[in-house]
């Protein structure tokens, strides 16, 4: 019974985030985002793990893993007046993070396709 309940909760969470992202999570393509790398009105935030970030990332970006974002959101307070472009490997984790930050009043945007579709410079 306990296992069934855990399964139902997990499916509900997945459904919630899937339906939220398909209902208008603000997003931006790799091509459009590349032109904003040097725009002071935008910052890029990697929500992958630190190991993923260290392996390959968009230059001059901070990393707060999605698992830690809720507990570390205060670190983003200094960017409250900027647009925050979140990215991950494929766009799923960053989509979740985008919704989370938007609910907290941030102007967050999901990088569609994440690093899988990023064709800009990397480090």
Lookup: tokens for 80: 């409250």
Query: Active site includes 88?
Result: yes
For the chain, the 3-state helix, strand and coil shares in percent, each to the nearest 5, are 50, 15, 35
How far is 58 from 123, CA to CA, in rounded Å? 6
Catalytic residue among 88, 99, 108, 109: 88
Provide φ and ψ at 13, rounded to 5°: -65, -45
The residue to which tokens 């899988």 are assigned = 116
Lookup: tokens for 53: 């970030």
How far is 90 from 40, CA to CA, in rounded Å? 25
Please identify every residue annotated as catalytic: 88
């Amino acid at each position: 019974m306990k296992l069934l309940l855990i399964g139902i909760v997990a499916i509900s969470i997945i459904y919630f985030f899937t339906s939220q992202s398909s209902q208008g999570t603000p997003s931006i393509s790799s091509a459009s985002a590349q032109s904003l790398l040097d725009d002071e009105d935008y910052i890029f935030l990697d929500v992958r793990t630190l190991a993923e970030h260290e392996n390959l990332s968009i230059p001059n970006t901070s990393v707060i893993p999605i698992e830690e974002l809720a507990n570390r959101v205060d670190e983003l307070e200094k960017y409250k007046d900027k647009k925050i472009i979140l990215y991950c490997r494929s766009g799923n984790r960053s989509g979740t993070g985008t919704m989370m930050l938007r609910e907290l009043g941030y102007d967050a945007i999901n990088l569609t396709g994440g690093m899988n579709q990023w064709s800009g410079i990397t480090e």
